[in-house]
Structure 1
Amino acid sequence: MKNVEVSIEACLACMVECEKCSTDCLTMQGHEECVKLCRDCADICALCARLCARGSKFADALCALCVKCCEDCANECSKHDMESCKKCADACKKCAEACKM
């Protein structure tokens, strides 16, 4: 069974790192996909945290989407050497694991 508090904390941490990464990558050539995925991931993580916090009946379905989004974002960020991309990839991996449990 999923630990809701762990999922919420992981989602919020991931949201923050995705926002930082997308901002850092905005001006980097070749990072367009990173920016797009980070922005989507940040939004999904924020919504996932809110739905989990309120015990929504849609939380599990959104967590499944969050896992997919985080995995895609982590894969993209792992392609880049920037520190913010590395932190984002790590946060995305942790969030995906927390939302799977």
Structure 2
Amino acid sequence: MTLQVGEMLSAYPKDLGDVNQAKLTKCIEECLRCAQTCTACADACLSEDMVAEMVKCIRSDLDCADICETTARVLSRHTGYDANMTRVVLEACAQACKACGDECGRHTKHAHCGICAQACRDCERACRDLLGVLG
């Protein structure tokens, strides 16, 4: 699946201001990738033989997926932009990704958890990178 994040940002009819479009694009893409990965990881955890041991991981996956999806949606909206709201959402997403990445990192004997932990780390980094350049 190819995302048209950069194309959509470029097609926006108004000036996006001084936002770093490369970092914004990367963050939206990482959020969407992380949301999908966390959703798939939660489902895979449900198929593990010792599913009771995976409850916290499943919860972390689902919370992170929801927050990442919401963050991507908020970052994709530019009309009536609110920098304070954007910072709060990005910080929440980075925190959710850290928590989920740490939890999945405890279960790397399951390949899906290792993949998810990495996606969470990548998304956390993208959120923090964008936070670092917001005005």
Query: TM-score, normalization: structure 2?
Result: 0.71
- Tell me the C-alpha RMSD between the 2 structures: 1.3
Q: Which has the higher helix share?
A: 1
Q: How many aligned positions are there? A: 101
Match of 1:53 among 40, 62, 76: 76
User: Aligned residues: percent identity?
Assistant: 33
Q: Distance in 2 between matches of 1:32 and 1:50?
A: 27
1:97 aligns with 2:125: yes
1:35 aligns with 2:58: yes
Higher relative contact order (CA 8 A, sep 6+): 1
Runs of 4+ in 1 over 6 A off after TM superposition: none
Report which of the two structures shows the higher radius of gyration computed on alpha carbons: 2
Unaligned runs of 5+ in 2: 1-18, 130-135
| Aligned positions of 1:1-101 closer than 5 A | 3-27=23-47, 28-55=51-78, 56-57=81-82, 58-80=85-107, 81-101=109-129
Unaligned runs of 5+ in 1: none
